Amino acid sequence: MESLSLLWGGLEAAFTPTNLLYAALGVFLGTFVGVLPGIGPAMAVALLLPVTNGMEPTQAFIMFAGIYYGGMYGGSTTSILLNTPGESASVMTAIEGNKMAKNGRAAQALATAAIGSFVAGTIGTLCVVFFAPAMAKVAVKVGAPSYFAMMLLAVVLVTSVLGSSKLRGYIGLFTGLTIGLVGLDLSTGQPRLDFGNPLLAGRIDVVVVAVGIFALGEALWVAAHLRSRPLTIVPVGQPFMGRDDWSRSWKPWLRGTAIGFPFGAIPAGGAETPTFLSYLLERRLTKNKHEFGHGAIEGVAGPEAANNASAAGTFVPLLALGLPVTATATIMLAAMQGFGIQPGPQLMEDEPDLVWTLLASLLIGNTLLLVLNLPLAPLWARLLRTPRPYLYSGILFFASLGAYTVNQQPFDLFLLLLFGLLGFAIRRFGIPVLPLILGVILGPLMEVKLREALALSDGSLSGLFNEPLAILIYIVIALVLIVPPVLERVHGRGDTPAREREEQMSDS
């Protein structure tokens, strides 16, 4: 119950006009970027990093949190109206949502997505309030070896479990780790990978990397694919739900929340898996099975709740352990470092005001999201008519301005271009961006912990294994790496004859 009184304190702190303004701004921006495919909350937060340098950390995080939640919500609009998911977490929403819209039930689909997001976000945030402090209390006692193991686990999970190709995941991860190495060694002050350039020796600013990869890379990618056949949009009015829609939606909302939150909270986050699971579950449990595939409201309500609950869940590892598991959370971690806040288990003790105001503002932002978005749905749909050249010239302007203002150094613009080209290349070759950005930001933190652990054991490798928790995590990592390929091989062998039979049958 201590958590609740702290949350109440946070709510009081968050309810100032300035903070509410930032929350509203964040929610608005988040929905804006969420609606537009290709532009996500990660890019928005990266572009805003330089702007927030002059702000109070609390206000900056209130805005970022609004962007994060808003982005999750905004993706559903595009999924439902256009059948083009704005975010990967909205892919499942598109399946039933777009069918509903085509059947003339766009208003109900948007409403169940919005209200479901609100329900899931609120419950999810309350769960964070209860879980994060407990987790942090345990985590404070964790030593450097275990902490290093935990970060390694997060990195390995994100790289090998998510995404279709492990090879591509690791290419992204190691590219990111390499970028994270450039500059002065954090422990000894030795320059690394600086090519004799003093500007590089001062370490590359995270803003430049993030803006280059997210904003410039995406702009170049869009420029290379500028023209495409316009999509047919389903006209939409004011979202609303009938009594029947409510009775069919509330259970999927709760189940989606229950599935989404744990997936966000474990350091293997990502919102894709829970939305997928929620969709499968709803299809199994529904009484209207014949409607699935033709626009069942359960298939929108469940996954939309799941993705917002998992967005809330990612705040548990971020606040309690300093471990980000999504691209947006990674940039938010970088923002914390920018403010001189040390993320990690001590965060809740060191910066209680920041943490509790942030959590309270998540609740407020969530409510604002509902209030803003239900009436504004037609406006968001109009946004999709913006010609890409206008949109991306604006993004490029803010990207260059942002990269320049961090150090007022023209060299950073050159670096920005370089990372923009890298961002273009990873899109071209299908390399996931999350392991890369995680490598850039978590890499140096991991190195510090690794060096700390090794220094304690005088450089002996055994220093990494002298805590039971660390050993346990290494076993989990080994299982994560070994089990899926083995299972695949076993299953693959079992499948082959059946598949051959099928092929023969389809041939004849």
Partner 1 sequence: MTVVVGYLPNQYGKAALAEAISEARLRGRRLVVVNATKGDALVDTHYASEQGIAELEAELSSLEEGHEVRQTLGPDIAEQILDVVREVDASLLVIGLRHRSAVGKILMGSTAQRLLLDCPCPVLGVKAT
- Point out which residues bind partner 1 (CB under 8 A): 36-37, 82, 84, 226-233, 384-389
Instruction: Count the Cβ atoms, other than its own, within 10 Å of residue 134.
Output: 12
Residue 107, token pair as written in the block? 């208003």
- Smallest separation, CB 52 to partner 1 (Å): 29
Helix axes 243-265, 298-313, angle to 10 degrees: 30
Q: For partner 1, which is the closer residue by CB, 9 or 37?
A: 37
Comparing CB distances to partner 1, the nearer of 233 and 481 is: 233
Give per-residue burial for 354-392: e unless 16+ CB within 10 Å, then b.
Answer: bbbbbbbbbbbbbebbbebbbebbeebbebbeeebeebb
Q: Which is nearer to partner 1, 229 or 287 (CB)?
A: 229
User: How many residues are listed for the chain in this entry?
Assistant: 508
CB 232, min distance to partner 1, A: 4
Centroid of chain to Cα 50: 20
Distance, first Cα to last Cα, the chain: 68
DSSP calls for 425-488: HHHHTT--HHHHHHHHHHHHHHHHHHHHHHHHTTT-GGGGS-SHHHHHHHHHHHHHHHHHHHHH
CB 389, min distance to partner 1, A: 6
CB-nearer residue toward partner 1: 218 or 467:
218
Taking the complex as a whole, how short is the minimal distance between the CB of residue 226 and partner 1, in angstroms?
Answer: 6
Give whichever of 102 and 451 is closer to partner 1, judged by the CB atom.
102
Least distance (Å) between residue 233 CB and partner 1: 5
Count Cβ atoms below 10 Å from residue 3 Cβ, excluding itself: 17
Whether 304 and 276 have beta carbons less than 8 Å apart is answered as no
288/393 with CB nearer partner 1: 393
Q: Give the amino acid at 488.
A: E
For the bound state, the minimum distance from the C-beta of residue 147 to partner 1, rounded and expressed in Å, comes to: 44
Q: Considering the complex, what minimum distance in angstroms separates the CB of residue 216 from partner 1? A: 19
Q: CB–CB of 319/271 below 8 Å?
A: no
Shorter beta-carbon distance to partner 1: residue 85 or 172? 85
